[in-house]
Amino acid sequence: QVQGHMAESVRSKFQRSVRKLIRMGRRDSFVGFEEQPIVNFIRHRYDAVKDVFVKDEVKAMLETNTLKVALEGATRELYRIKIMTKFRGSDNYVAKRYKSHVQATDEMYFTDCKMQMIAKKMADDFNKLKPPHRIDFLESFVLEMATGDGGKQLFTAEKFVQGDYQKHSSNSGFVQEVHHRMTPHAFSHFSYVHSKGRLMIVDIQGVGDLWTDP
């Protein structure tokens, strides 16, 4: 019973810290956001338990200029986007689009989203073992926007999180040694064992123990 109470306390503390990071992103991060017309998007969400995508419609304002960040990827560019909500007015997100030289297919966006949501489900399983540090991945989804020529543009999107962004590993062998932590690599090992060798989740990065883009 004492152990159960302690586990609940750790879980509650972690959940509060995640909510705080997201609130910080909602409150502070979009200073100077260029107001844009509100447009309709189709949102595709992946259910990792049922292995299906479900879709609904959302209204959002997408900033036209790319977001400049210290660790910009070689293949994708970032945009700030405000997604309208029923109760808070809007929430701050980051939309990711492949750069033109990549020649991305629609399938690549859905695969990126699916990978992150599988990692999120795996993090839930990892947390059931009561590790010293609980972890989580941001929810990812695909946004589909109609273009003026009758086509469409896809993005992956997730909540904007404010904080000290760290990259712990890559998918090509890099391991962070300057700010080395055990939890990200323990999770990668867990994902391999837990899936019976079917997958290993690497390229761990994010703010604290709230991660993204594996």
Q: Across the 214 residues of the chain, what is the mean pLDDT of every consecutive 10-residue run?
A: 49 57 52 82 96 97 78 81 85 93 96 98 97 96 93 95 89 82 95 97 95 94
- What separation in angstroms does the CA of 16 have from each of 13, 22, 142? 5, 10, 26
The secondary structure of the chain in percent helix, strand, coil, rounded to multiples of 5, reads 30, 30, 40
For 124, other C-beta atoms within 10 Å of its C-beta total 13
Q: Domain range spanning residue 7?
A: 2-211
pTM, 2 dp: 0.83
3-state secondary structure of 5: helix
Could you tell me the CATH number of the domain that includes residue 75?
3.30.200.20
How confident is the model at residue 1, as a pLDDT? Answer: 41
Decide the pairing of beta strands 152-159 and 89-98.
antiparallel
Counting the structural domains of the chain, the total is 1
Greatest extent of the chain over all pairs of C-alpha atoms, in Å: 62
CB 28 within 8 A of CB 21: no
